[in-house]
């Protein structure tokens, strides 16, 4: 088994609130204190190779993992967890305080908007400069130049100095360069947040192409849906330490559960079941428009959510009615919408194993992470209910067919509607206005 990236016991320490002014007396004092602490630790039977000093901040602590060639790995974690620091170390932008990183193959990285660009050079010059940094010949870069320009939509600005580019233009060109010069190892921070929805869609499609061609990709994303869609595995960083490393779907689900807000009584278990227990929902499945299992949906996509129900014990009463309810909450714990089967065609009686399917002709949820609560009623009595039974990742989509979506701050849902100008009404109003203000002759 060959590894494209090997990270072994990597730690990174920063000094807070201090600038080294090169004072010999201060350096001698630090050296003496290190020796003093080291001797004290050895005397107590403890070994401390790096004694902690006042003002030390460890951005990373003993992070180790291997990435096989051709695999895509996602980094997830809250702000300040050390994700960007780890990417800088892997990209060899900064050196680790301890440990080492070994990389096999050419590395292309896109960590911050405009990284690797010379502001005084034009976009064209920076494309060739980045190719040279990756070890490519001018002829190789020239063969991909037209694809880079077309992808970035910067044809009319390609001979303009990049210091005059907006942040979005910087990012579009930088991603196009990183993606089309095709290094064996591609490292991406969450820079796609700068782009608009249409460009994000292009980027995700390009990522899928690179993954299918066997490129090794390591990238950061705060959106767990992106992790599950593109990654084979995921790494969860927490306060500089690696909390978990495993299959992308498992890590993303554990992360969402840990980050989800608790409603109501904080002492109550968040994922407990309720109801009589005669029927239970054993699992919740997601299906795309073709009937295949899905990990996430796109806004506006046709999709299905299925509740897999099982009868646990039987009563003598006859089942006369069945009803299912789904409630969606966003990552901030706000209720977005509630759906109930009682507003549609009545559901038939449940068997011993039954699947209840809710179909969305066009999923109205805006991009984000949602959790699903459900309730199952039989004969108007709740037999099973669960809070945060499943998470749902909604990706960028094209609900309105215009490559534009409203802001989540303005509305929680997309609504299917149409707009037009009623010219006939306008003509009637104009005629009434003219008649009202026409001069009167006696």
Find the CATH number of the domain harbouring 81.
3.40.50.300
Q: Are residues 180 and 284 in the same domain?
A: no
- In this predicted structure, the answer to whether residue 51 has a pLDDT above a threshold of 60 is no
Q: Are residues 190 and 131 in the same domain?
A: yes
Q: Are residues 231 and 349 in the same domain?
A: no
Angle 256-259-261 (CA atoms, 0-180°, nearest 5)?
Answer: 115
Domain assignment of residue 266, yes or no: no
Can you list the positions of beta strands (E) in 157-288? Answer: 185-188, 216-220, 233-238, 241-247, 273-274, 279-287
**Whole-number Å distance between alpha carbons of 228 and 194:** 21
Q: Are residues 74 and 172 in the same domain?
A: yes
**Whole-number Å distance between alpha carbons of 165 and 178:** 18
- Give pLDDT, residue 356: 94
**Whole-number Å distance between alpha carbons of 188 and 4:** 15
- Domains of the chain: total: 2
The reported pTM is 0.59
Sign of CA dihedral 89, 95, 99, 103: positive
**pLDDT 10s digits, 106-163:** 887 777 655 668 889 999 998 998 888 777 788 888 998 999 999 888 889 999 998 8
- Give pLDDT, residue 168: 79
- In this predicted structure, the answer to whether residue 262 has a pLDDT above a threshold of 50 is no
Domain assignment of residue 24, yes or no: no
Q: Are residues 167 and 281 in the same domain?
A: no
Find the CATH number of the domain harbouring 358.
2.70.50.60
Q: Are residues 248 and 282 in the same domain?
A: no
**pLDDT 10s digits, 193-247:** 555 667 777 887 888 888 888 889 998 877 677 788 788 899 999 888 999 999 9
Q: Are residues 238 and 366 in the same domain?
A: no
pLDDT, averaged across the chain:
80
The whole domain housing 219 covers 3-17+31-258
Q: Are residues 219 and 71 in the same domain?
A: yes
- In this predicted structure, the answer to whether residue 32 has a pLDDT above a threshold of 50 is yes
Domain assignment of residue 369, yes or no: yes
């Amino acid at each position: 088994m060959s590894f494209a990236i090997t990270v072994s016991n990597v730690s990174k320490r920063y000094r807070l609130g201090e600038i080294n002014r090169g004072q010999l007396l201060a350096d001698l004092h630090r050296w003496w204190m290190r020796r003093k602490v080291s001797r004290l630790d050895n005397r107590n039977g403890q070994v401390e190779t790096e004694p902690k000093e006042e003002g030390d901040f460890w951005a990373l602590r003993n992070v180790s993992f291997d990435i096989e060639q051709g695999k895509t790995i996602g980094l997830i974690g809250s702000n300040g967890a050390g994700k960007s620091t780890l990417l800088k170390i892997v990209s060899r932008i900064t050196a680790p305080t301890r440990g080492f990183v070994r990389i096999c193959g050419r590395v292309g990285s896109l960590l911050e908007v405009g990284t690797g660009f010379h502001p005084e050079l034009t976009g064209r010059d920076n494309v060739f400069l980045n190719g040279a940094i990756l070890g490519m010949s001018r002829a190789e870069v020239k063969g991909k130049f037209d694809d880079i320009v077309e992808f970035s939509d910067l044809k009319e600005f390609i001979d303009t100095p990049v210091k005059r580019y907006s942040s979005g233009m910087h990012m579009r060109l930088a991603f196009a360069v990183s993606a089309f010069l095709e290094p064996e190892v591609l490292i991406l921070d969450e820079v796609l947040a700068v782009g608009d929805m249409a460009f994000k869609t292009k980027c995700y499609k390009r990522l899928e192409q690179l993954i299918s061609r066997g490129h090794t990709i390591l990238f950061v994303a705060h959106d767990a849906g992106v992790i599950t869609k593109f990654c084979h595995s995921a790494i969860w960083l927490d306060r500089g330490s690696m909390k978990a490393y495993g299959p992308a779907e498992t890590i993303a689900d554990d992360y969402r559960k840990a980050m989800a807000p608790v409603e109501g009584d904080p002492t109550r278990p968040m994922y407990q079941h309720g109801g009589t227990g005669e029927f239970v929902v054993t699992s919740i499945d997601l299906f795309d428009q073709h009937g295949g299992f899905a990990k996430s949906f796109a806004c506006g996509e046709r999709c299905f959510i299925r509740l897999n129900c099982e009868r646990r014990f039987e009563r003598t009463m006859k089942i006369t009615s069945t009803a299912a309810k789904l409630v969606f909450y966003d990552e901030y714990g706000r209720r977005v919408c509630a759906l109930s089967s009682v507003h549609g065609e009545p559901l038939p009686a449940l068997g011993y194993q039954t699947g209840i399917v809710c179909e969305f002709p066009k999923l109205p949820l805006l991009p984000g992470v949602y959790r699903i609560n459900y309730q199952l009623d039989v004969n108007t009595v709740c037999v099973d209910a669960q809070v945060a039974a499943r998470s749902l990742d909604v990706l960028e989509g094209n609900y309105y067919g215009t490559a534009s979506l409203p802001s989540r701050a303005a509305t929680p849902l997309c609504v299917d509607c149409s707009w037009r100008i009623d010219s006939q009404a306008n003509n009637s109003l104009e005629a009434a206005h003219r008649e009202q203000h026409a001069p009167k002759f006696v």
